[in-house]
Amino acid sequence: MMDDLRILRVLGGPDPVPDPDSETRARAALLTRAQAAPVGAARRTRWGRLGWRIAVPAVAAAVAVGGLVAVELVAVETVGPVTRDGPVVPGLPAAKPANAAEALGYAAAAATRRPFTTPRPNQWLYLETRTTSGKGPGGFVASGPYETYTSRVWRRIDGKQLASYKRGKLVTYPSNMATPGFDFATLANLPPDPEAALAWVRGQVGGVGGGTRDGEDGIAFTTINAILRDHLLPPAVESALFHALSKLSGVTLVPDAVNLDGRPAIAVGRVQDGWLRSEMLLDPATYRLIGERAVAIADHTNRADDGTSKIKEGTVQYLVVRSGAAIVDTPGQTG
């Protein structure tokens, strides 16, 4: 079990000089502590603008999933529309899922059919994401403005090194990841049974989320989402984690149509604090995880250290698109 102070100590790490890895973990830890605070529509937000903007797109990094490093801004790439009419994975129906459990079941089944080669410890996971988030008080979005950046990160499979671009130069440095348990070796060896996998996740986030099952399920939802987003895992493990999501309370299929870069997406979500719905976005043809977003489902007044914002129902708070993921031999390679 981890209490809030231990979360902050563990995630912050012993780094004497902050690097992007430790900064991301520290910012995410602030979000976790804020989520553990009493719920209230007008409660004072404890994290600053930068903390929300960086931490929320990698919200489960608050429990050291190894959230993405926010590296320098680069040009946004446009992904063309998908023209497929239905799932291309053999054995999956073309019809839209009727509920969240069905959608997650399809995703779990599709995961078991994907080829997978266990990476060597000295190989690297390349991960590219594009994040659109707000610049308003507390990092929330009332009606804009938004900012978009692309993050390209290489993380060594053994967890010892990290690489990212700094001022146009690819730099490799020690990962300084202080929290054990979310490295590839551990995740790749999670039990393939959904109940056991979920029990493991609960064990990592226990005590975070206000001390209630609803709060802990919210943290578990974002944690599993981030694990699936930030890693390429063995099919049996990926399948178990998708099934585990369906066992959490409050997880629903989002009825509204979702469009992601011209592509349709299936959204499975869970509401936090009564007004903010966190969503996992799935490709309706392959059921791969392709992104995530958060949407206000009710009007909300947020008070932060840098100001107050009145958020209207329907406002997208952030959008993360996973635009690339591959196992490579050296930093700089993308597939």
The confidence score (pLDDT) of residue 181 equals 64
CB atoms within 10 A of CB 168: 7
What is the separation of C-alpha 204 from the centre of its chain, rounded to a whole number of angstroms?
16
303-323 mean pLDDT: 89
The domain ranges of the chain are 4-328
- Angstrom distance (rounded) from CA 143 to CA 94: 37
| Beta carbons within 10 angstroms of residue 146's beta carbon | 15
**Does residue 240 register a pLDDT over 70?**
yes
Q: Kindly state the average pLDDT of the residues 76-101.
A: 61
Q: Work out whether the CA dihedral 304, 308, 313, 317 comes out positive or negative.
A: negative
| DSSP states along 21-47 | HHHHHHHHHHHHHHHTSPP-TTPBP-S
Residue-wise pLDDT tens digits, 262-298: 788 999 999 988 999 999 999 999 999 999 999 999 9
How much of the chain, in percent, has pLDDT values that exceed 70? 71
Cα–Cα distance between 285 and 288 in angstroms, integer?
Answer: 8
What are the distances in angstroms from CA 50 to CA 4, 56, 127, 185?
A: 20, 10, 22, 31
Decide if 264 contacts 258 (C-beta within 8 A): yes
Average pLDDT of the chain, as a whole number: 76
Question: Does residue 325 register a pLDDT over 70?
Answer: yes
pLDDT higher than threshold 50 for residue 43: no
- Rounded CA separation 329/257 (Å): 39
